[in-house]
Every structure is written in structure tokens, then in C-alpha cells.
Structure 1
Amino acid sequence: MVAVLGASVLASLDLFIVNLAFPRISRSFAGASAQELSWVLNAYGVAFAALLAPAGRIADRLGRRTVFQAGLAVFTLGSLAAVAAPGVAALIAARAVQGVGAAVIVPTSLALLLSSAPEDRHKRMVSVWAATGSVAAALGPALGGLLTEIDWRWVFAINLPIGMVALLFSRRLGQAARTGGRAPDLVGSLMLAVSVGALVTALSYWTEWTPASGWLWTALAISAAAFGVFVVRCRTHPVPAINLAVFRSMPFTAAAVGMAAFYVGFSIMLLGGTLWVTNVWYWSPAMTGLAFIVGPGTAVATALGAGRAKLDPRWFAAIGGALFLACGAMWSAALSAASPSPSFFLAGLVLTGAGAGVAQTGFLAGASRSLPNEEYAAGTGVINTARQIGATLGVAILITIVTTGDNPTAYPGAWTAMGAAGALAAATTLTFLIRSRSPKTVDEPATEIAGR
């Protein structure tokens, strides 16, 4: 429990804690451009997205405990490198290393927890695992704000004792039998990383390069070519990086697109909101962190409620996207530099927190219900990959719009983009027609876990 839950805390904390430290990181590297600094967030997301799906297969092949321990060690070493980073390039590289470690930790942690306990305790184990991640996400903003007040490097230093304790206790974990077989296609994973990275670069530098720039079209061409290679390898390799067969289901495809669009809006909200209150209203990191507790706190409550409600998953997905659209419209109309009243800002955090809680439940539950049992694992990997890609693209879009974040007049465009992403996520539910083998509802075990 200590080993696996420690890993869950590491993965959950990163969602908020680094975003809240971003303004202070930017000031520490004043010579770096906004596009360069965005890679402090995006390097993690690209590495995570590319390796998340094959990591589970690697663990089954080499041994879950061995791979889990390797992931913990890599994440902890990446955190240590981030603490000691002398410049922005070193920090970006350290964040990519953290992303590799996180991609290995996430798919192996719950499997190890369940394999270490008898079957009659599995439901309790899942509840504790899910609750630990939720609590870590809820406390992340406050902790990140307080640590950033001291020094932004502390947001990475906090990972070191957690990682070392988890590694120490992981020696007591059982080693599940290895399945053997061929290794997953890491070349395909690399092509996915290159494709997403080149697309993010093109989006980030869109205004600086202009549409007439050869650099812009070169980046887009590299992205398209790498994605083409990735698709070909997924179709021909015996153990592809991602099983494309899941996309034969239209509801699943809609859920994957919807999850990616939703996380575009989510990352714009999270980083954009942080930049707004720190660069425009000049809130302290501690005050910013306390304000952002509202979002994950609301998300935990609504996700638990969604897990027990008897509604079709597409309604949850549509409601979540609509709440982000509502927040974007409200912030565009109500937030201003001249009137730093927090009421509308906090109301937006409540809306987006509720949206995150119900939308993720809807997309995950809807995607799983549209697949046969033997494709659940592949489908979950694809949905989580789509989530990470969406979050990475959202950061790139935000940086394109607000650049350094000092100009208040640029933010309405960011809030409009956030609302548009929510609208697109909601629109995917028009094709999100669930055709299950039995009349399931969202309060059944698999989808209740998704809600949690």
C-alpha cells in the first residue's frame, strides 16, 4: 500500500503543482522565450503520452514490480535533475525524464496493488487507491503555492522523499509472472512523440513564425510524416504501440476525441488561470494555490456523485463540456485587470471542477462500454494517451494566445479557446451513441471506478 499509494501521489501532484510554479519558473529564466518555457510542461506531457500505452505491455513482459521500481527510480531521478537544473534546457530534459517515469508508474501501480491482496479485498483497494490520488490532486494547489513561496525548486524536491519511501517499500511487493512475448513497438512510440512534439512546436510559434514561414510548414510536415509512420507501424507491427482496432467503434473514437478536446480546455483553464491571477492581479503563489483548491475539491465531489448516478455516460460528457463553455463565456465577460474581484474567477473554478468530475466519468465509462472485454486495456491506454495529448496541445494554444501572460487584453481569446474546446468535447457526444451488450448504467463497478 505504501509503495503503490506513494506512486499515485507522485502522479497526481504533478497535475497542479508544476502549473502553479510556472510563473516563478518563468521569472527565474527571464532570457527564455514563452515558447521555450512552455516545454517545461509539454516535455512531460509528450513523454507521458507516447509511452503510456506500451508501458503496461513492457511491465507484463519484464515483470510488473521490476518495471514499477524502474519507473519510480526514473521519476525520482528526473525530479532531482529538475531541482538542480542550471538552465531552462536542463529543466525541460528533467521534465521529459519525469514523464517517462510517470508513464511507467501509472499503468503498473493499481495492477500491483490488486495482485498483492486477495480478491475479496480488491474493491477496498481500488477505493483507497482512487481516494489517495484524489486527495493528492486536491491538496496539490495549496502545497504547490506554499512551496513556490519558498522556491519553485521545492515543487520538485517534494518528490524525492516520496519517491525514495515508495522505492523502499516496493521491495515487499510480489512479482507477478512474466508473460514473455515480443516487446511493444517503441519506434512507433517515438514517432508519436515526434509527431506531437512537432505539432506543439508549430502551434507555440504560430504567431512568431507567421503562416508564410518555412519553419512553420517544416514543423507541420514533420508532424504529419511522423504520424503517418506511427499509423503504419501500428497497423503492421506484431505488438503495436497502440492498438488501432479500438477505433473501429464510433462511440469509442468519439470518446477519445472528446477527451482530448476536453483536456485542451482543461489545460488552458489551469495554466491560463494561474497566469491571470499572478501576472495580472499579482496574487502570491500561496493565495493562488488556496484559490485553486476549489477546482479539484469540486471535481472529487461531482465524480463520486457521477459514479452513483443512473445516467447515460454521454450526458455526463456533454454536461462537462458545457460547463467549460459556460466558464469561458463568463470569464471573457467578467474578468478584468481593473476589477480584481475573485467572485467570478472562483465561480469559474467551481464550474470547471464540476465539469472535470463528470466529463471524465462520462468519457471513460462511455469508451469502455463500447468495446468488447478483451479490448478494455487497449482502450484505456488510448483514452489516457488522448488526454495527455490534449493537455499538451492546450498549453501550446494558450502560449500562442497570451505569450508571457502579462497582457490582460490577450486573455479573452484564451477563455474563448477554452470554451470552444468544451463545446467540441460536448459535441462529440452527438455520435457518442452507446450500444452496449447489456443495459449497463453508470453506477456499475467499472464505471463507478471511473467516477472515482
Structure 2
Amino acid sequence: MANLDAQASPITTGPSVGPPPFDRPPGAGPPGAVFAVLALAVFISTLDVFIVSIALPAIQAGFEHATVADMSWVLNAYAIVFAALLVPAGKLGDILGRRRVFAAGMVAFTLGSALCAAAPSLGFLVAARILQGAGAAAVTPTSLGLLLPSLPPQRRAAAIGAWSALGAIGAASGPSLGGLLTQLSWHWIFTINIPLAVIVLAGTYRFLPEIRDPARPPLPDGIGALLLVTAVSLATLGLVQGPSWSWDGRVIGCFAVAAVLTAGLAARSRRHLAPVLEWSIVRVPAFALSSLSGALFSGAFSAMLLGNVLFLTGIWHYTVLEAGLALTPGPIMAAVFAPFAGKLAHRIGPGLVGGAGALLFGAAAVMWVMLIGLEPAYWSRFLPMMLIGGTGVGLALPAFTIAATATLAPAKLSTGIGAQTMFRQIGSTLGVAAFVAVLGTPTRSTVIGVYADTRWLMLASVVVAALALAPIRRRPGSPPTPGTTAAPNTVRSLDGEQR
């Protein structure tokens, strides 16, 4: 990925003399066709996260004796594997060929989807979700690695913005589409992936070029990826099983081993030539702070999404379709405000914009505690909360990416985006696990108080996220502060706006 990164953010050091000559990679189709194929692939993998969340109650009903803690693994197994393999898959694409790894990822994702749809047991479904997550991890970094070299340099920054916006589109589509498909059967939320993936695979060999890093970088750290998977899985297991294990020595053991494995991963990443996490970017203060903020915010957001689904279907007794439609305004607000957030962050700094978004999300959590009760009150209480929270998400998420990448050297841009995505997925996993731990098994008389406790947890998480992001004031394109690795004269930001 490193060779690609150098192309991703043009640098000017003197008067403009027009765009440089551009040679498209051999075998590349028209830029529009290349983008369409890759956009559909990223959309499917992003949509899958949100569409599964809305269908969890229906999936739980399909497996006798399944608890909320059991069902959380349907989400977390995907997220853990995705997080651990994201960076190694990108590096492997540089070695073996990005199109080859991209196609292999799509095949794995398609096969995983088919197995999910046919799952006869919850354990089988979780295993199939692991395969899906591995496929998505291969698709995401290689999609960007195939897109950028196929476009002229002056269009690449805008392409990164459009590529990133696919997440907001997937989020906005997920609740309503998931609710609609679940009306037929929860199996359809996985079946729908198969024809779309077949279209992507057909377009892959028709329009996408094969691109490798001519420097032949070293193989990625497979042991490091295994350490990350095991550490996050154990920490998640400790949280999810905490209430049923009475927070005894088994929980402490999970946390202790996870801490040891994390330390081992950190030590290994310092020595390995192609680590899961590159310390050269972690040492950049803006990247470290924004990644911490992104992980905390993603944890709160994922907990909120799962909590809303369970509350609407379990307490207010909405159908899955009604719950999906009820949740849709939030993601729509996020999709509406995300483009403005990117431009605003480039004007006043990502710390202020992202912090404001996190606090708006926190305000929605407080509204939930103050307004929501056992009796349904969607239009007067739940909807305003969703609109405010969705606006916060739209402001915060782009700011995290901009803050993380603004002070990185151009040669580290894609690596930085991949690493921050990894942190977000880990945050989402631990956020869902913490939600399950706090929720436990409430009774009718205690359920409102317990759900309020989960909202206070979300509020604490996003407040810390806002505080961590607040110091990042430097605008992209301005001279770097001492100690950062950013190159001066970087004049094109992620949204394509020149500085």
C-alpha cells in the first residue's frame, strides 16, 4: 500500500504548470466503470454491518435459547476479523496483486454470505460471519488501491471523498432495507449480497487492472494479525460473559491474557517489516488522538444502534420493518451532514467539528434518558433524538478521518486510513460488548433504568472522544507542527479542495 500512498495526495512546490502526464494502468477500464465496480463492492461490505444489526431480533427468534450476549457475536465476529486483517490484506495486495486479492475477498464474502443465509445453527452463522469479515477486509483496502492509480492525479482526492461517502450511504440504506428484507425472512439479508457480488466479480476482470508494488514489500505479519484477533476476542468475551460469569476469575483471566497479547502485538509491530500497525504513524499525535476518538465514538455509535433496535422491537414491540423505518432518519441526517463536515473541518480544523459532532451525539443520549419511557412516543420524542444524534454522527465521522490523515506524510495516507478503520472496528466491537454487559437481562420494571445506564456509558465515551479530538486544530495543508511527519506544501485535501 505504501507505493500507492505516494500517489494519493499530490504535492506542489512551485508555480502550477498544468496537470502532469497520466498513464493509466494497463487493463484499466473507463474511470467511471472502475469506480462503479469498486463502489458497489464497498457499498455491499458497509451495508452488511447495518443491515445485520436491524435483523438481529429476527435472527435471535430463529435460534432457540439464543441470548443477546450470544447474538452480539454475529456482529462482533465480523468486526474483529475485519479489523485484524484490514492492514495485512492491503499489504498482501501490494505483493500478490491488488485485483487478485480484491477478487479473492469478494469470493470469500460471497461464500460467507451464502453460508450465513443457509446457517442451521447460531455457531454456524458466527463462523460464516468470520468468513464474511475476512472477505470484507480484503476488499476494502484493495478497492482504494485499485481506484486511485486508475484516475488522473487531480481527481484522486475527490475520489477518496466519494469512496469514504459510501459508508454514509450504506448506513442510510441499512435500517430500512434490512427491515424490508427481514419481513420476508432474515436469510434474505445475506442472500441479497450474492447477486450483487457476482456483478462485482464480473466487472472485476472486465474493468479493473492488476497492480502490484514493484518494490516487492515483505509479507504482512500474520502472527500479529492472529494476536490482534485473539486479544480483542478475549476482551470481548470477558465483557459479554461478565454478567453470567458474575465477573469472577474467568473474566479477569480474559482481560489479563488480552492485555498480555496486546503488549506482545505492540512489541512485534515495532520489529516487523510489515506490521499490523505501523508505529511511525501511531507516534504522530494527531493520528493517535483521532484514532482514540474514533474508537470511542464508534463504540458508542454501535452500542446505540444495537440498543435502539432491541428497544424498539423488544420494549415498544415494533416489527423489524417498523424499527428499520424508525431508525432511518438518523443515518439520513448523517449522510446529509457528512459532506459539509468535511469542508468545515478544512476551514476551522477537525478537532472543533468532530468534537461538536460527538457532543451532539452525547446530547441525544441525554435526551433518551430524559424522554424515553415504556410507552411509545416516536414522533414527539424518539424522532427528534434520532435527528440530533444523526447530525452528530455526520459531523464527527469525517472529522476523525481528516484529523488522522492531515498530519501524515503523503506516503502514509492509505496506511493511515486503513489503521484508523481498524481502530474504529475494534471500538465498535468493544462498544457492543460493553452494552451487552451493562444491559444484562433486565425485567420490565428495571428495563428503562438499565437502558439509561447504557446511554450514560455512551455519553461518557463520546465526551472523552470530544476531549481527545479537541487539541487537533491545524487545518490540512497548513505547515506541520514540530514532531509530525506531514510534508509542507500539501495543497489538496481529501475532499479535493485546494489550499
- TM-score of the two chains, using structure 2 as the length reference: 0.85
Matched residue, 1:322? 359
Give how far 1:19 is off.
0.3
SS of the equivalent of 1:209 reads: coil
Matched residue, 1:37? 71
Matched residue, 1:161? 195
SS of the equivalent of 2:189 reads: helix
SS of the equivalent of 1:65 reads: helix
1:334 aligns with 2:371: yes
1:94 aligns with 2:141: no
Q: Which moved more, 1:387-396 or 1:405-414?
A: 405-414
232, 236, 242: which one aligns with 1:196? 232
- Code of the aligned partner of 1:205: Q
Give how far 1:370 is off.
2.4
281, 305, 308: which one aligns with 2:343? 308
Give how far 1:90 is off.
0.3
326, 332, 351: which one aligns with 1:297? 332
- Code of the aligned partner of 2:197: G
Partner deviation per Cα, 1:397-419 (whole Å, 9 max, x = no partner): 11112236775332111111111
1:206 aligns with 2:242: yes
Matched residue, 1:104? 138
Partner deviation per Cα, 1:72-104 (whole Å, 9 max, x = no partner): 000001001100111000000011111111111
Shift of the 43–376 alpha-carbon distance from structure 1 to 2, 3 Å rule, reads same
Give how far 1:42 is off.
0.3
Matched residue, 1:438? 478
Give how far 1:308 is off.
2.2
Give how far 1:6 is off.
1.9
Shift of the 110–181 alpha-carbon distance from structure 1 to 2, 3 Å rule, reads closer
1:83 aligns with 2:125: no
Shift of the 240–128 alpha-carbon distance from structure 1 to 2, 3 Å rule, reads closer
Tell me how many residue pairs correspond in the alignment.
Answer: 447
Give how far 1:449 is off.
6.5
Matched residue, 1:414? 454
1:346 aligns with 2:383: yes
- Code of the aligned partner of 1:365: I
Shift of the 207–112 alpha-carbon distance from structure 1 to 2, 3 Å rule, reads same
Partner deviation per Cα, 1:183-229 (whole Å, 9 max, x = no partner): 01011011011111100111111222223x22112211221121121
Shift of the 321–117 alpha-carbon distance from structure 1 to 2, 3 Å rule, reads closer
Unpaired stretches in structure 1, ≥5 consecutive residues:
none
Matched residue, 1:395? 432
Contact preservation (8 Å) 2:161, 2:495: no
Give how far 1:126 is off.
4.7
Matches within 5 A, 1:6-17: 6-17=40-51
Shift of the 188–331 alpha-carbon distance from structure 1 to 2, 3 Å rule, reads same
- Code of the aligned partner of 1:199: A
SS of the equivalent of 2:244 reads: helix
Shift of the 372–264 alpha-carbon distance from structure 1 to 2, 3 Å rule, reads same
Q: Which moved more, 1:188-197 or 1:125-134?
A: 125-134
- Code of the aligned partner of 2:52: V
Matched residue, 2:300? 265
- Code of the aligned partner of 1:154: W
Give how far 1:299 is off.
0.8
Shift of the 127–215 alpha-carbon distance from structure 1 to 2, 3 Å rule, reads closer
SS of the equivalent of 1:251 reads: helix
Contact preservation (8 Å) 1:306, 1:361: yes
- Code of the aligned partner of 2:273: P
Give how far 1:430 is off.
4.0
- TM-score of the two chains, using structure 1 as the length reference: 0.93
- Code of the aligned partner of 2:402: A
C-alpha RMSD over aligned residues: 2.2
SS of the equivalent of 1:446 reads: coil
Shift of the 402–121 alpha-carbon distance from structure 1 to 2, 3 Å rule, reads same
- Code of the aligned partner of 2:179: G
Unpaired stretches in structure 2, ≥5 consecutive residues:
1-32, 481-490
Matched residue, 1:448? 495
Give how far 1:128 is off.
5.2
Shift of the 359–435 alpha-carbon distance from structure 1 to 2, 3 Å rule, reads closer
Q: Which moved more, 1:374-383 or 1:429-438?
A: 429-438
Give how far 1:345 is off.
1.4
Give how far 1:37 is off.
1.5
Equivalent-residue separation in structure 2 for 1:191 and 1:34 (angstroms): 27
Q: Which moved more, 1:252-261 or 1:397-406?
A: 397-406
Equivalent-residue separation in structure 1 for 2:317 and 2:112 (angstroms): 31
Matched residue, 1:228? 263
Give how far 1:133 is off.
4.5
Give me the identity figure in percent. Answer: 35
- Code of the aligned partner of 1:186: G
Give how far 1:115 is off.
2.8
More helix by share: 1
Partner deviation per Cα, 1:92-143 (whole Å, 9 max, x = no partner): 0011111111111111112212333444554665565455544333222111
Shift of the 128–226 alpha-carbon distance from structure 1 to 2, 3 Å rule, reads closer
Contact preservation (8 Å) 2:46, 2:171: yes
Matches within 5 A, 1:132-147: 132-147=166-181
Work out which of the two has the higher radius of gyration on C-alpha atoms and give 1 or 2.
Answer: 2
Q: Which moved more, 1:172-181 or 1:137-146?
A: 172-181
Contact preservation (8 Å) 1:204, 1:399: yes
1:182 aligns with 2:226: no
Matches within 5 A, 1:43-54: 43-54=77-88
Contact preservation (8 Å) 2:221, 2:275: yes
Equivalent-residue separation in structure 2 for 1:244 and 1:412 (angstroms): 38
335, 340, 359: which one aligns with 2:396? 359
Partner deviation per Cα, 1:250-307 (whole Å, 9 max, x = no partner): 2221111100000111011111011111101011111111122211211111111112
